[in-house]
Amino acid sequence: MNAAENLPVNHHADHPGFAGPIGALVGLVLMLMGRPSARLAADLVGVSAADTVVDIGCGPGSAVREAVRRGAAATGVDPAPVMLRLARMFTPDGSVAWTTGTAERVPLSDQSATVVWSLATVHHWQDVDAGLNEASRLLVPGGRLLAVERQTKPGATGLASHGWTRQQADAFAELCRSLGFADVTVGAHKAGRRDVWAVSAVRD
């Protein structure tokens, strides 16, 4: 297996993040493109009024608002102030909590979530082990973890590389197992017109 086929799951961890007018523009694009993934995520974990959802890397908040529409309490977490400003702007009723944080450091209490998901952001995490340990800390026993990433091809470059190959999806699943998550599965799905990988797991 060559290096292009064996990339780490966080192969864009060096991404500088989003800020300023360009960041705002990207956020608006993400809001439009993120709705199918938001619906898919909510369907896959079966979000209901019994849930408290934490969205790691929430961006402009499409998936958080979808969780709230299905009755859940929800918190959106993102490191980029510009994304959180957009998220608040498009959630004027105050139904969602928003907070600054990263996958590796979420300013919420232990066992405060029944669902933790990260949609199209794990490939940007600085430290995947730390991010998964943080997800485990946030989840109640039996809580559900979900990561969704666009399907990419080995050797893809530029924007086309932002996502996971099958090998990367499997590698993330194996990391989940090694850190104590149970019932870990990898599935191929459609989010609108996009082919995506979804890795789900349960906190013991």
Q: Kindly report, residue by residue over 17-64, the tens digit of the pLDDT.
A: 665 666 555 555 666 677 899 999 999 999 999 999 999 999 889 999
Residues 175-199 pLDDT 10s: 999 999 999 999 999 999 999 999 9
Q: Region 94-102: what's the mean pLDDT?
A: 92
- Which pTM was predicted? 0.90
Write down the pLDDT at residue 15: 66
The string over 29-59, giving b where at least 16 C-beta atoms fall within 10 Å of a residue's C-beta and e elsewhere, is ebbebbbbbbbbbbebbebeeebbbbbbbbb
Q: What is the CATH number of domain 34-99+110-203?
A: 3.40.50.150
Domain edges within the chain: 34-99+110-203
